[in-house]
């Protein structure tokens, strides 16, 4: 059974804290993604990675950074958390050959609250 796991289901942090969200996939996928999901806005891409140590900015990268040191792990970092980063964060992975209608496999999400 394919799996994408995220380190926490719920997280509460204070403004200004550095926050790490971890994502691990066991499907040997090249592509990994971080999205945030907010009501009425759908899923918005923060960053994606198509290989180890490779990353590309998505639509809303400001205030975030990522790390991909190993193929199976993709981390999202909030350098200094702010209240407007309170959201549901979803990690996904997919095989290569992007544009060939590949399925994205999603983790269960991390609901982050920044106080």
Partner 1 sequence: TQLLEQSPQFLSIQEGENLTVYCNSSSVFSSLQWYRQEPGEGPVLLVTVVTGGEVKKLKRLTFQFGDARKDSSLHITAAQPGDTGLYLCAGPSSGTYKYIFGTGTRLKVLA
Which residues lie near partner 1 (CB under 8 A)?
Answer: 4, 9, 31, 35, 40-45, 48, 50, 56, 58-59, 90, 92, 98-99, 101, 103-104, 106-109
- Beta-strand runs (E) in the chain: 4-6, 10-13, 19-25, 31-38, 42-51, 54-57, 64-70, 73-78, 87-94, 105-106, 110-114
Least distance (Å) between residue 45 CB and partner 1? 6
Kindly give, in sequence order, each residue whose CB lies less than 8 Å from that of residue 97, ignoring residues fewer than 6 positions away. Answer: none
11 vs 43, beta carbon nearer partner 1: 43
Least distance (Å) between residue 5 CB and partner 1? 11
12 vs 41, beta carbon nearer partner 1: 41
17 vs 26, beta carbon nearer partner 1: 26
């Amino acid at each position: 059974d394919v799996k994408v796991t995220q380190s926490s289901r719920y997280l509460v942090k204070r403004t200004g804290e550095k926050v790490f969200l971890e994502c691990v996939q066991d499907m040997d996928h090249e592509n990994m993604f971080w999205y945030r999901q907010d009501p009425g806005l759908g899923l918005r891409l923060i960053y994606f990675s198509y290989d180890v140590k490779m990353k590309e900015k998505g639509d809303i990268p400001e205030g975030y950074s990522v790390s991909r040191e190993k193929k199976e792990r993709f981390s999202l970092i909030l350098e200094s958390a702010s209240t407007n980063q309170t959201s549901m964060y979803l990690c996904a992975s997919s095989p290569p050959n992007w544009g060939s209608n590949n399925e994205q496999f999603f983790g269960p999400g991390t609901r982050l609250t920044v106080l």
